Chain A
Amino acid sequence: GAVVSQHPSRVICKSGTSVKIECRSLDFQATTMFWYRQFPKQSLMLMATSNEGSKATYEQGVEKDKFLINHASLTLSTLTVTSAHPEDSSFYICSARGGGLAPDEQFFGPGTRLTVL
Protein backbone atom coordinates (compact mmCIF):
# COMPACT_ATOMS: atom_id res chain seq x y z
CA GLY A 1 0.00 0.00 0.00
CA ALA A 2 0.89 3.66 -0.11
CA VAL A 3 3.45 4.92 2.38
CA VAL A 4 3.15 7.96 4.61
CA SER A 5 5.98 9.15 6.81
CA GLN A 6 5.98 11.49 9.78
CA HIS A 7 8.82 13.35 11.36
CA PRO A 8 9.78 13.48 14.14
CA SER A 9 8.50 10.27 15.67
CA ARG A 10 8.95 11.62 19.14
CA VAL A 11 9.52 15.07 20.60
CA ILE A 12 9.89 16.38 24.10
CA CYS A 13 9.77 20.12 24.56
CA LYS A 14 9.38 22.78 27.19
CA SER A 15 6.12 24.55 27.77
CA GLY A 16 5.75 27.61 25.57
CA THR A 17 7.79 26.36 22.65
CA SER A 18 6.46 25.56 19.19
CA VAL A 19 6.77 22.17 17.58
CA LYS A 20 6.51 21.36 13.89
CA ILE A 21 5.48 17.93 12.67
CA GLU A 22 5.89 16.90 9.04
CA CYS A 23 3.74 14.45 7.15
CA ARG A 24 4.86 13.18 3.76
CA SER A 25 3.29 10.87 1.23
CA LEU A 26 6.27 9.01 -0.19
CA ASP A 27 4.97 7.28 -3.28
CA PHE A 28 1.78 9.04 -4.21
CA GLN A 29 0.28 12.47 -4.45
CA ALA A 30 -2.03 13.18 -1.58
CA THR A 31 -4.96 15.32 -2.57
CA THR A 32 -6.07 15.54 1.04
CA MET A 33 -4.26 15.10 4.32
CA PHE A 34 -5.83 14.74 7.73
CA TRP A 35 -4.44 15.43 11.17
CA TYR A 36 -5.62 13.43 14.17
CA ARG A 37 -4.84 13.47 17.84
CA GLN A 38 -5.12 10.51 20.18
CA PHE A 39 -5.00 10.73 23.96
CA PRO A 40 -4.29 7.57 25.98
CA LYS A 41 -7.11 5.02 25.82
CA GLN A 42 -9.17 7.27 23.60
CA SER A 43 -10.08 7.17 19.95
CA LEU A 44 -8.41 9.11 17.20
CA MET A 45 -9.99 12.54 17.01
CA LEU A 46 -9.89 14.40 13.73
CA MET A 47 -8.36 17.84 14.19
CA ALA A 48 -8.34 19.21 10.68
CA THR A 49 -8.56 18.42 7.00
CA SER A 50 -5.99 19.87 4.67
CA ASN A 51 -6.15 20.21 0.90
CA GLU A 52 -3.11 21.21 -1.08
CA GLY A 53 -2.97 24.91 -1.77
CA SER A 54 -5.92 25.88 0.37
CA LYS A 55 -6.62 26.63 4.00
CA ALA A 56 -7.21 23.77 6.35
CA THR A 57 -10.68 23.05 7.68
CA TYR A 58 -10.66 22.63 11.42
CA GLU A 59 -13.01 20.53 13.49
CA GLN A 60 -15.13 22.15 16.12
CA GLY A 61 -13.16 22.92 19.25
CA VAL A 62 -9.74 22.89 17.57
CA GLU A 63 -8.00 26.26 17.67
CA LYS A 64 -6.67 27.13 14.25
CA ASP A 65 -4.26 29.71 15.66
CA LYS A 66 -2.74 27.14 17.97
CA PHE A 67 -2.51 24.29 15.49
CA LEU A 68 -1.15 25.76 12.28
CA ILE A 69 -1.45 23.58 9.23
CA ASN A 70 0.35 24.13 5.98
CA HIS A 71 -0.15 21.94 2.92
CA ALA A 72 2.21 23.47 0.42
CA SER A 73 2.58 20.52 -1.93
CA LEU A 74 0.84 17.30 -2.86
CA THR A 75 3.31 15.31 -0.80
CA LEU A 76 3.85 17.43 2.31
CA SER A 77 1.70 18.80 5.09
CA THR A 78 2.96 20.29 8.33
CA LEU A 79 1.31 20.78 11.70
CA THR A 80 2.80 23.33 14.05
CA VAL A 81 1.72 23.27 17.66
CA THR A 82 2.34 26.82 18.81
CA SER A 83 3.10 27.71 22.41
CA ALA A 84 2.72 24.11 23.47
CA HIS A 85 1.47 23.30 26.95
CA PRO A 86 1.39 20.02 28.90
CA GLU A 87 -2.23 19.44 27.92
CA ASP A 88 -1.11 19.33 24.28
CA SER A 89 0.91 16.20 25.04
CA SER A 90 -0.59 13.55 22.82
CA PHE A 91 -0.05 11.20 19.90
CA TYR A 92 -0.45 13.14 16.65
CA ILE A 93 -1.13 11.11 13.53
CA CYS A 94 -1.50 12.27 9.98
CA SER A 95 -3.12 10.44 7.13
CA ALA A 96 -3.19 11.01 3.42
CA ARG A 97 -5.74 10.23 0.79
CA GLY A 98 -5.14 9.83 -2.91
CA GLY A 99 -2.99 6.74 -3.18
CA GLY A 100 -5.52 3.98 -2.75
CA LEU A 101 -7.92 2.23 -5.05
CA ALA A 102 -10.85 3.29 -2.90
CA PRO A 103 -11.48 7.03 -3.15
CA ASP A 104 -11.90 7.42 0.60
CA GLU A 105 -9.06 5.16 1.72
CA GLN A 106 -6.64 6.91 4.03
CA PHE A 107 -3.05 5.88 4.68
CA PHE A 108 -1.68 6.71 8.10
CA GLY A 109 1.70 7.94 9.12
CA PRO A 110 3.47 6.29 12.07
CA GLY A 111 2.53 9.11 14.40
CA THR A 112 4.42 11.65 16.48
CA ARG A 113 4.42 11.40 20.24
CA LEU A 114 4.59 14.87 21.75
CA THR A 115 5.45 15.40 25.38
CA VAL A 116 5.34 18.94 26.72
CA LEU A 117 7.07 19.43 30.05
Chain B
Amino acid sequence: RKEVEQDPGPFNVPEGATVAFNCTYSNSASQSFFWYRQDCRKEPKLLMSVYSSGNEDGRFTAQLNRASQYISLLIRDSKLSDSATYLCVVNRPTDKLIFGTGTRLQVFP
Protein backbone atom coordinates (compact mmCIF):
# COMPACT_ATOMS: atom_id res chain seq x y z
CA ARG B 1 0.00 0.00 0.00
CA LYS B 2 1.33 3.45 -0.88
CA GLU B 3 1.88 5.90 1.92
CA VAL B 4 -0.15 8.55 0.16
CA GLU B 5 -2.90 7.59 -2.26
CA GLN B 6 -4.75 9.78 -4.70
CA ASP B 7 -7.11 9.23 -7.57
CA PRO B 8 -4.95 10.01 -10.62
CA GLY B 9 -7.88 11.39 -12.61
CA PRO B 10 -7.98 13.13 -14.97
CA PHE B 11 -10.81 15.30 -13.83
CA ASN B 12 -12.20 17.21 -16.81
CA VAL B 13 -14.45 20.05 -15.70
CA PRO B 14 -15.88 23.18 -17.34
CA GLU B 15 -14.91 26.64 -16.24
CA GLY B 16 -16.85 27.71 -13.19
CA ALA B 17 -17.33 24.20 -11.87
CA THR B 18 -16.55 23.04 -8.36
CA VAL B 19 -14.24 20.07 -8.11
CA ALA B 20 -12.99 18.06 -5.14
CA PHE B 21 -9.93 15.88 -4.75
CA ASN B 22 -9.36 13.31 -2.05
CA CYS B 23 -6.28 11.78 -0.57
CA THR B 24 -5.60 9.15 2.07
CA TYR B 25 -2.41 8.53 4.00
CA SER B 26 -1.26 5.49 5.90
CA ASN B 27 1.10 6.82 8.58
CA SER B 28 -1.01 7.90 11.54
CA ALA B 29 2.00 9.67 13.05
CA SER B 30 2.13 12.21 10.21
CA GLN B 31 1.84 15.76 11.46
CA SER B 32 1.97 18.09 8.47
CA PHE B 33 -0.13 18.01 5.36
CA PHE B 34 0.02 20.01 2.17
CA TRP B 35 -1.41 20.40 -1.27
CA TYR B 36 1.07 21.21 -4.00
CA ARG B 37 0.40 22.09 -7.58
CA GLN B 38 2.61 20.84 -10.39
CA ASP B 39 2.40 22.08 -13.93
CA CYS B 40 3.64 19.90 -16.76
CA ARG B 41 7.43 19.48 -16.69
CA LYS B 42 7.80 21.95 -13.84
CA GLU B 43 8.64 21.72 -10.16
CA PRO B 44 5.85 21.43 -7.58
CA LYS B 45 4.71 24.63 -5.92
CA LEU B 46 3.04 24.85 -2.54
CA LEU B 47 -0.65 25.59 -2.90
CA MET B 48 -1.62 25.45 0.75
CA SER B 49 -0.97 23.74 4.04
CA VAL B 50 -3.81 21.73 5.53
CA TYR B 51 -4.88 22.24 9.12
CA SER B 52 -7.12 20.12 11.32
CA SER B 53 -9.69 22.88 11.55
CA GLY B 54 -9.84 23.18 7.78
CA ASN B 55 -8.63 26.22 5.94
CA GLU B 56 -9.56 28.33 3.00
CA ASP B 57 -7.54 30.43 0.59
CA GLY B 58 -9.72 32.21 -1.92
CA ARG B 59 -11.37 29.58 -4.11
CA PHE B 60 -9.46 26.74 -2.45
CA THR B 61 -10.56 24.91 0.68
CA ALA B 62 -8.60 22.14 2.35
CA GLN B 63 -9.88 19.73 4.96
CA LEU B 64 -8.15 17.18 7.15
CA ASN B 65 -9.75 14.25 8.92
CA ARG B 66 -7.14 12.69 11.18
CA ALA B 67 -9.40 9.88 12.37
CA SER B 68 -9.95 8.70 8.81
CA GLN B 69 -6.47 9.78 7.64
CA TYR B 70 -8.10 11.66 4.83
CA ILE B 71 -7.35 15.00 3.19
CA SER B 72 -9.41 16.89 0.67
CA LEU B 73 -9.08 19.88 -1.59
CA LEU B 74 -12.06 21.76 -2.97
CA ILE B 75 -11.71 24.19 -5.84
CA ARG B 76 -14.64 26.50 -6.50
CA ASP B 77 -15.31 28.48 -9.66
CA SER B 78 -12.61 26.64 -11.63
CA LYS B 79 -10.46 28.69 -13.99
CA LEU B 80 -8.60 27.53 -17.06
CA SER B 81 -5.40 28.37 -15.21
CA ASP B 82 -6.26 25.81 -12.53
CA SER B 83 -5.41 23.03 -14.99
CA ALA B 84 -2.50 21.18 -13.41
CA THR B 85 -1.67 18.14 -11.32
CA TYR B 86 -2.49 18.48 -7.64
CA LEU B 87 -0.20 16.63 -5.29
CA CYS B 88 -1.20 15.53 -1.83
CA VAL B 89 1.85 15.68 0.42
CA VAL B 90 2.31 14.31 3.91
CA ASN B 91 5.30 14.51 6.16
CA ARG B 92 6.78 11.48 7.81
CA PRO B 93 7.58 11.98 11.45
CA THR B 94 11.24 12.10 10.42
CA ASP B 95 10.49 15.32 8.57
CA LYS B 96 10.47 13.89 5.11
CA LEU B 97 7.77 14.77 2.65
CA ILE B 98 5.95 11.94 0.93
CA PHE B 99 4.20 12.82 -2.29
CA GLY B 100 1.12 11.24 -3.77
CA THR B 101 1.14 10.51 -7.48
CA GLY B 102 -1.12 13.49 -8.05
CA THR B 103 -4.56 14.13 -9.45
CA ARG B 104 -4.70 15.71 -12.85
CA LEU B 105 -7.22 18.48 -13.41
CA GLN B 106 -8.17 19.79 -16.84
CA VAL B 107 -10.51 22.78 -16.95
CA PHE B 108 -12.10 23.42 -20.32
CA PRO B 109 -13.87 26.52 -21.66
Contacts and interface: CB of A to CB of B under 8 A. Distances in A.
Contacts of B4: 43
A104 B90 CA distance: 11
B58 to A, nearest CB: 17
Interface of A: 1, 32, 34, 36, 41-46, 49, 91, 93, 95, 102, 104-106, 108-111, 113
Given A43-B4, A44-B99, 19 more contacts: A1-B46, A34-B96, A36-B99, A43-B99, A43-B101, A43-B102, A44-B87, A46-B96, A46-B97, A46-B98, A93-B43, A104-B97, A105-B46, A106-B97, A109-B43, A110-B42, A110-B43, A111-B43, A113-B41
Contacts of B100: 43
Interface residues of B, number: 19
A43 B87 contact: yes
A42 B101 contact: yes
28 contacts: A32-B95, A34-B96, A34-B97, A36-B99, A41-B101, A42-B101, A43-B4, A43-B87, A44-B44, A44-B87, A46-B98, A91-B41, A93-B43, A95-B97, A102-B32, A102-B49, A104-B32, A104-B91, A105-B46, A106-B97, A108-B43, A108-B44, A108-B45, A109-B43, A111-B41, A111-B42, A111-B43, A113-B41
A108 B43 CA distance: 7
Nearest to B36: A108
A43 B99 CA distance: 6
A59 to B, nearest CB: 8
Interface in B45-83: 45-46, 49
Nearest to A45: B99
A17 B44 CA distance: 28
Contacts of B45: 108
A8 B46 CA distance: 23
Q: Give the interface centre of A42, A105, A106, A111 by most chain B CB atoms within 10 Å.
A: A106
A45 to B, nearest CB: 8
A46 B95 CA distance: 12
A68 B7 CA distance: 34
